[in-house]
Amino acid sequence: MATYQRNEVNEEVQYAELTGMTKSSWRELTQNKRDRILKLQFVKRWHGTQFFFDRPYPIMQIDAPLTKLLRELVGSDSLFYGSSEELAARKGADRLQSRIEDPNNFRKLAFGNDVAEDDAQLLDYFVSTRAFSRAEDGSASVIIGPKGSGKTAILRALQSKRGANNTIVITPEVFATSMLRQIIESNKGLWDEDQAFISTWIFTILVEVFKRVSAEPRGVPANAVKSLRAFLRDNAKFEEVDLFSRFVGYLKRIEGVKVGPYELALKTRMLQELYSLAPIYELVPKLRGTGGEVLILLDELDQGWDNTPHANRFIGSLLQAAIRIQSLGLRAHVVAFLRSEIFDLVKGHLDQLDKLRSGIETLRWSDGELADLVVRRIAHSLTFAEPRSGYDLDVAASLFDGQYSGMNGFQYLLSRTSLRPREVLQFLKHAHRLAIDTGQNKINSDVLLKAEEEFSAWKLEHICSEYRHVYPGLNELLWSFRAIGPILDESDALSVISRFRNEMGHRLPSWVGDDSQKILQLLYSIEFLGVPRPQAAKNRSGVVANYEFAFDRRAVNIRSAPSFLIQPAVWSALEIPSA
């Protein structure tokens, strides 16, 4: 009996689709041989590698004759059976594919902006992922992912769903970090920077929360509303300004005590009052569990970040404040969006990191989710309004012509990225544009390989730019791998690092250190090197199928790795021979 994705053999199905080698072998048959499938009375018609039945049948009734004939024709019988609902979805996918394959439609395809904050239509084709769902239901407090992985898209979707009155977006880019640095440096040794920043963040954010509750007091006890408004009235100078002015105002209030001509005992008491935020915390018990929920979204935390102790404390104190606000019992949920490498650097400053563990969500994208992202944008550009089909990988593949290294065009494109939405869109948009410029109605192999050359150069530049503050001089290390590989054993990789050390001499960056194994681990963490998978990936072929990278599995100790694979996305840029 054929393999199929069903547990019940008496489940009724209305079509079957060939998979694996059976699918490939079927395509090689002549038309006459393929028409033999119509001799089975229940097969109404066939199209491509799909067989449609004249009515729904239990699998057990049709499987034996169908698989018997397939084994005679192609020597195998790998099948997927679909229900009537799935048949409707399959037909919807076929209709969209047909639209895409029309030359006029192919030329006018649009894939949207690959930068979420610049995409006015983003919410029309937003893809709801696990990270979005967890942030929406309150179970995730920190969303971690590299640049271009969809953090800002999630923020915009949350903000849209909750409404502007119920969301507070805090982006440190609005905070003049250079000005704040001057305040800190002018008071060096006079205050506890961490404590000053944490208290100031808590005050700044909670005043904003109180403003929202005061404006929309439904469900809040009258005495609590009265106390809340009295507090805001007493602190009007902080209430009636923007977030940045409020932040700086409170920080300067602390500074004024620190540098003021007060006696030590009085100064200590005044600072303790500012740090303790007693007037704020007195309101909290009255507001617990009341009113509508306010969502506090912390984004763009890498703006102005330069990996200095000051910058790391600035972000760390914001996360500390978020943790404390989250634990107050108010209907105020905090979600911070942070780049993976920055979180790794600042988490050492979080003395309550254990409280965040279950609320940390790392952004990862599957092939299917990325196909969904692409197909939603295609459907939107073609005003194709039918329900989602569930066959997004097939639809995305229909943009391409032929096979590439044993993969369809879309799988090949994904294999040359780090599975980030921005990268996939940039690569795909460039390939589509090249196809149009050369008069093609699909993305053929010549077009795809030309687009890969340029995308590969962008990818290499992006890696170096992304880590310029963490690993200055990284670009020179990566270029040391030029024309080597793509597979390296441990001695090959260590030899490259050794040569890099020798060539750099006195210019050797301090982060390189003496432990070459740590450098290999670093190269894995930045997605430059991959290690062997426990088992081959089903949707890849060749050596790419046998290796995984940090975007597949972040926590991997590479010391036991027998070999490494250089990230295929940079093969072209580094003139590495394809495997």
pLDDT in tens, 414-469: 999 999 999 999 999 999 999 999 999 999 999 999 999 999 999 999 999 988 88
pLDDT recorded at residue 163: 87
The residue ranking higher by pLDDT, 52 or 301, is: 52
pLDDT at 70: 94
The whole-angstrom separation of Cα 190 and Cα 255 is 9
- 50-58: strand order across its sheet: 43-47, 50-58, 12-18, 79-82
Q: Is the pLDDT of residue 346 over 60?
A: yes
- Give the separation between CA 403 and CA 397, rounded to whole angstroms: 10
**What is the spatial distance between Cα 86 and Cα 81, in angstroms, rounded to a whole number?**
9
- Residue 140's pLDDT is 87
**Encoding tokens for residue 285?**
């018990």
Residue 337 backbone dihedrals phi, psi, to 5 degrees? -110, 120
Higher pLDDT, 240 or 448: 448
Q: Is the pLDDT of residue 1 over 60?
A: no
User: For the chain, what percent of residues have pLDDT higher than 70?
Assistant: 93
* Choice among 120-129, 355-364, 461-470, 540-549 with the minimum mean pLDDT: 355-364
* pLDDT of the residue at 266: 83
Q: What is the mean pLDDT of residues 310-327?
A: 80
Domain boundaries, the chain: 1-82, 85-129+368-459, 139-362, 474-570
Which pLDDT band holds residue 4 (cuts at 50, 70, 90)? very low
Taking only the tens place, the pLDDT of each residue in 250-261 is: 877 887 787 777
pLDDT at 403 over 60: yes
pTM for the model: 0.83
Q: Of all residues in the chain, what percent carry a pLDDT higher than 90?
A: 45
pLDDT at position 304 is 65
Kindly report the average pLDDT of the chain as a whole number.
86
Q: What is the reported pLDDT for 6? A: 43
The predicted pLDDT at position 515 comes to: 86
Which is more confident, 576 or 555?
A: 576
Going by C-alpha positions, the residue among 210, 253, 252, 248 that lies closest to residue 232 is 210
Tens digits of residue pLDDT in 66-89 = 999 999 999 988 898 988 888 888
pLDDT digits (tens, 9 = 90+) for 114-173: 888 888 999 999 999 999 999 998 888 889 998 899 999 999 999 999 888 888 888 765
Half-sphere exposure of 560 (CA within 13 A, CB side): 4
If you compute the radius of gyration of the chain from its CA atoms, what whole number of angstroms results? Answer: 29
Q: Over the range 404-413, which residues count as b (16 or more CB within 10 Å of their CB) and which as e?
A: beebbbbbbb
